[in-house]
Amino acid sequence: MHRHLDAADDGGTMSTGTTVEHLDVLIVGAGLSGIGAAYYLQRDHPQRSVALLEAREASGGTWDLFRYPGVRSDSDLHTFGYEFEPWRAPQAVAGADQILAYLRDTAARHGIDRRTRYHHRVVSASWSSDDARWTVDVERTDTGEHVEPTCSWLFCAGGYYRYDRGHTPRRPGSTASPAPSCTPSTGPPTSTCATGGCWWSAAGPPPSPSCRRSPRRPPT
Ligand SMILES: Cc1cc2nc3c(=O)[nH]c(=O)nc-3n(C[C@H](O)[C@H](O)[C@H](O)COP(=O)(O)OP(=O)(O)OC[C@H]3O[C@@H](n4cnc5c(N)ncnc54)[C@H](O)[C@@H]3O)c2cc1C
């Protein structure tokens, strides 16, 4: 039986023309979840081969992507952080830069950064019961090349939102707003926001008081 998993649905050189690289575990994503999963895997299963595939050029996920002024955690970092790497900063609620530094320090301290393959975007994966393994289609986002490693276990830690574009809801009164929009992940078009008339979508504070917040639901 073959089962196909599409990355779009869920939210070293890995193979060449003749050689296919097989790993025990492939982790999709080098954010908070992927780094944590890698730590426990290498601690509890040191004999297993483990690699992280990260689509972007850097680790940290959420805490690297969002750069709007004042971006910070809602949770206290004493419980949001890793049990194996306690949060030691005096403030419990931290900004993105501090959280990012904490994640990268943790990854470096435990050798997880060396297991991470950047510019490796998982496009899809196919499961074969006969071979008891996943074949993973990975796009090298720096070269456009595709590689197809196999693995026995595929751990999805890719987060819960799109990284290539922010949420863009319909605007009242028209299908296309004449005003430009901005999102917390792409950052505001500041000149437009400064003069007003800009739509602001999703969580986080508006970049300017003149920005209009997009409605949660489209009008009926
Ligand atoms: C502004 C903001 C504040 C937040 N504050 C809190 C908080 O206080 N407490 C809380 O519990 N949560 C909070 N969250 C939620 C936060 O996103 C999560 O808690 C956590 O950081 C998510 O980590 P993650 O590793 O699961 O996913 P992400 O941080 O999204 O990381 C996923 C990684 O996977 C990579 N990836 C995705 N798809 C692929 C693919 N197909 N192939 C390869 N790589 C891929 C991405 O590039 C990314 O690096 C907040 C979110 C935002 C946006």
H-helix or E-strand containing 25? Answer: strand 22-28
Residue corresponding to tokens 């003749």? 18
Q: Does any ligand 1 atom lie closer than 6 A to the CB of residue 157? A: yes
- Domain-wise residue ranges, the chain: 2-156, 166-220
Ligand 1 centroid from CA 80, angstroms: 12
Ligand 1 centroid from CA 104, angstroms: 14
Residue nearest to atom 30 of ligand 1 (CA): 159
Q: What is the pLDDT of residue 137?
A: 98
- Asked if pLDDT for residue 215 goes beyond 70, the answer is no
Can you give the pTM of this predicted structure? 0.83
Q: Does any ligand 1 atom lie closer than 6 A to the CB of residue 30? A: yes
Question: Domain 2-156, what fold?
Answer: FAD/NAD(P)-binding domain (3.50.50)
- Asked if pLDDT for residue 7 goes beyond 70, the answer is no
- Report the alpha-carbon distance of residue 159 to residue 140 in Å, rounded: 19
- Backbone phi, then psi, for 178, in 5-degree steps? -70, -25
Ligand 1 centroid from CA 220, angstroms: 32
Among 216, 178, 220, which residue's Cα sits nearest to residue 197? 178
Among 4, 1, 61, which residue's Cα sits nearest to residue 27? 61
155's tokens: 């751990």
- Asked if pLDDT for residue 169 goes beyond 80, the answer is no
Q: What is the pLDDT of residue 166?
A: 77
Exposure string of 190-210, with b = 16+ CB inside 10 Å and e = fewer, is: eebbeeeebbbbbebebbbee
Instruction: Give the distance from CA 124 to its chain's centroid.
Output: 16
- Report the alpha-carbon distance of residue 134 to residue 5 in Å, rounded: 10
Q: Does any ligand 1 atom lie closer than 6 A to the CB of residue 155? A: no
